[in-house]
Amino acid sequence: MLRLTICVIALVSQHVVDSDDHPKGHLQPLGRHRPPVGSIEERASFPTPLEMFEKYVRGSKPVIFRGILEKGMLPAYKLWTDSYLRENYGSEYVSVEKGKKENRKWDMLNITMSEFLDKYQKEDIYMVNDASVSMTEDINMPSMLLCGGFQRVVQNVIMWFSSGGTKSVLHNDGLDNVNCLIDGEKYLVMIDKKLKADVEETGWILNGQYSQVDVEKVDMYKFPKFRNLPWYEVKMQKGDCIFIPFKWYHHVDSKKGRNLAINVWIHHLSKFNASDCNATPTDENRFVSVAKFLQDNKKIDLRDFFLGELEDKEFIDWSFFEDLLKPSGQERADLKKLFGDLDADGDGKIVEHEVMMADLTRILKQLPTLQALVQGENPYDTSDQEESLAESLDPEDIMEDYTENVFDDVLSEDLEHFVNSPKQTDTSRDEL
Ligand SMILES: *[C@@H]1O[C@H](CO)[C@@H](O)[C@H](O)[C@H]1NC(C)=O
Ligand SMILES: *[C@@H]1O[C@H](CO)[C@@H](O)[C@H](O)[C@H]1NC(C)=O
């Protein structure tokens, strides 16, 4: 009887749609306009770092790693029950969005983990939280990111936690993304970045990189290019990790029930330098906490300093470079050498990928006054520190703690979500 009823309803609604002659999928959830063109590649193991780079990062190819967390490589997978989180991180403050359907209004709560755990099964809230150092001790670095340059461009780990039923906007990110599902199920609609002209034709918000399309009710008249948009379907289960390439469009739904994921953001690497890979074991079960890399990378203010400059220009040439770093009091010869180190291809222009690839930790050790300069504590400069920094940055981006700011900036540009400082507007590096 029930089946018959469903059948009749299905026939009736089919009939209604046909006779109204609306485009298929009109006012329905994203993806109903046509069957998916397929699903993405599935693997049971992580690739080597080189394969990761060539096939997936440079090849811009999404891939899902089925059941990979069952192999025991991510301690959080087994550890992160509510009681463990309460016991270990209960007093830490976390960022929580009001509303499970994403609206990009950045209406955030700042509450403790314990308060979140008390509320999340009952209230319409979604934790989107930049994992603290102690939390990231429970998260290992995916083995395919341990060498070649990936390890230097890992930016942060975000924790996504709710009782399910969340819906993200359709958006893309200016970073590569490895997302692992610790609990629950997620459903993704993914659209190739090559379809930019169609996806972004109407209602695209540049400042935030998302579509205004209502993912639950696609208006095929307002978004005519969506009528035939090819898409990929991904069903993630607990224990799966997915690689979402830089700039691929995606919309993420989570199914009802406890839902907990972490994702690792990585700057988009444009060159792979395999020279450290022989000496670095990268077998899948190797456990190295991601905390170590995040801490190392957060110290590299110099990278963000240069990337900040590269937001509104394509390259940095010697004369600009010299003016920029002169206030550090560093010898001209040292600066010249640094310029040469950064300008890997020797064309006289430092571009983004060269900044990303440079071993800035080593460089900073050799030129410690640069560290002071980029942190706004220049011992050689008597002018107001905040002001000298302010000149080189968008005033909106200035916060008291520059280190924190750099960190937030990375988040804000890509952004699924604006995690720590809702007031900040994003200066997207994506447009480079
Ligand atoms: C690759 O990295 C090594 C150090 O790990 C460095 O000596 C070499 O110059 C780098 N090569 C390129 C092309 O950047
Ligand atoms: C959250 O609130 C605590 C306590 O008031 C504060 O110390 C912390 O800085 C706040 N965090 C954010 C991101 O605003």
pLDDT of res. 370? 76
pLDDT of res. 23? 96
Q: Are residues 145 and 275 in the same domain?
A: yes
Ligand 1 center to 237 CA (angstroms): 39
Nearest CA to ligand 1 atom 3: 275
The answer to the question of residue 409 being in a domain is yes
Ligand nearest to the CA of 341: 1
Ligand nearest to the CA of 418: 2
Chain-centroid distance, C-alpha 395: 24
Ligand nearest to the CA of 91: 2
Q: pLDDT in tens for each of the 432 residues of the chain?
A: 455 455 444 444 444 444 578 999 999 999 999 999 988 999 999 999 999 999 999 999 999 999 999 998 899 999 999 999 999 999 999 999 999 999 888 889 999 999 999 999 999 999 999 999 999 999 999 999 999 989 988 888 999 999 999 999 999 998 899 999 999 999 999 999 999 999 999 999 988 889 999 999 999 999 999 999 999 999 999 999 999 999 999 999 999 999 999 999 998 888 898 999 988 887 877 788 999 888 777 666 677 788 888 888 889 999 999 998 888 888 888 889 889 989 988 999 999 888 877 777 777 777 777 766 766 543 333 333 333 333 333 333 322 222 233 333 333 333 333 333 333 333 332 322
The answer to the question of residue 29 being in a domain is no
Q: Are residues 49 and 139 in the same domain?
A: yes
Output the DSSP codes for 171-184: B--SEEEEEEEEES
Ligand 1 atom closest to residue 344's alpha carbon, by position in its atom list: 14
User: CATH no. for residue 279?
Assistant: 2.60.120.650
Q: Using the 3D structure, point to which of 261, 286, 311 is the last residue of a domain.
A: 286
Q: Count how many domains the chain has.
A: 2
Ligand 2 atom closest to residue 421's alpha carbon, by position in its atom list: 13
Q: Are residues 125 and 271 in the same domain?
A: yes
Ligand 2 center to 376 CA (angstroms): 23
Question: Rounded CA gap, 409 and 22, in Å?
Answer: 42
Q: Using the 3D structure, point to which of 286, 315, 345 is the last residue of a domain.
A: 286
What does DSSP assign to residue 41? E
pLDDT of res. 359? 76
pLDDT of res. 355? 84
Nearest CA to ligand 1 atom 6: 275
Mutate to test the pocket of ligand 1, among 53, 269, 273 (most ligand atoms within 8 A of CB): 273
Antiparallel, parallel or unpaired: β 259-267 and 93-98:
unpaired
Ligand 1 atom closest to residue 358's alpha carbon, by position in its atom list: 14
314 within 8 A of 351, measured Cβ to Cβ: yes
The phi and psi torsions of 235 (rounded to 5 degrees) equal: -110, 110
Ligand nearest to the CA of 148: 1
CB of 88 shorter than 6 A to ligand 2: no
Q: Are residues 337 and 267 in the same domain?
A: no
Nearest CA to ligand 2 atom 10: 110
Q: Are residues 215 and 68 in the same domain?
A: yes
Ligand 2 atom closest to residue 93's alpha carbon, by position in its atom list: 1
Whole-Å CA distances, 359 to 119, 154, 273, 354: 44, 14, 11, 10
The answer to the question of residue 6 being in a domain is no
Nearest CA to ligand 2 atom 3: 93
Nearest CA to ligand 1 atom 7: 275
Ligand 2 center to 93 CA (angstroms): 6
Ligand 2 atom closest to residue 110's alpha carbon, by position in its atom list: 1
Q: Are residues 267 and 212 in the same domain?
A: yes
Ligand nearest to the CA of 423: 2
Ligand 1 atom closest to residue 357's alpha carbon, by position in its atom list: 14
Nearest CA to ligand 2 atom 11: 110
The phi and psi torsions of 175 (rounded to 5 degrees) equal: -135, 160
Q: Are residues 217 and 79 in the same domain?
A: yes
Q: Which helix (H) or strand (E) holds 188?
A: strand 185-191
Q: Are residues 157 and 218 in the same domain?
A: yes
Structural domain boundaries enclosing 188: 41-286
The answer to the question of residue 349 being in a domain is yes
Q: Are residues 279 and 318 in the same domain?
A: no
Question: Rounded CA gap, 345 and 347, in Å?
Answer: 6
Residues with CB under 6 A from ligand 1: 273, 275-276, 344, 357
Question: What is the CA angle 326-331-337, rounded to 5?
Answer: 95
Q: Are residues 108 and 224 in the same domain?
A: yes
Q: Are residues 142 and 67 in the same domain?
A: yes
Q: Are residues 279 and 319 in the same domain?
A: no
pLDDT of res. 385? 30
Burial classification of residue 385, based on how many CB atoms lie within 10 Å of its CB (0-12 exposed, 13-18 middle, 19 or more buried): middle
Ligand 2 center to 94 CA (angstroms): 8
Closest CA to 239 of 72, 120, 85: 72
Q: Using the 3D structure, point to which of 257, 286, 315 is the last residue of a domain.
A: 286
Ligand 1 center to 369 CA (angstroms): 24
Ligand nearest to the CA of 276: 1
Question: What is the CA angle 411-417-421, rounded to 5?
Answer: 65
Q: How many helices (H) does the chain have, and how many strands (E)?
A: 17, 14
The phi and psi torsions of 353 (rounded to 5 degrees) equal: -65, -25
The answer to the question of residue 414 being in a domain is yes
Ligand 2 center to 364 CA (angstroms): 31
The answer to the question of residue 30 being in a domain is no
The answer to the question of residue 24 being in a domain is no
The answer to the question of residue 212 being in a domain is yes
pLDDT of res. 421? 31
Strand ranges in 31-174 using DSSP code E only, listed in sequence order = 41-43, 63-65, 93-98, 108-112, 125-130, 154-162
CB of 132 shorter than 6 A to ligand 2: no
Nearest CA to ligand 1 atom 9: 344
Ligand 1 center to 273 CA (angstroms): 6
Q: Name 398's Cβ contacts closer than 8 Å, sequence gap at least 6.
A: 386, 389, 390, 405
Ligand 1 atom closest to residue 273's alpha carbon, by position in its atom list: 1
CB of 110 shorter than 6 A to ligand 2: yes
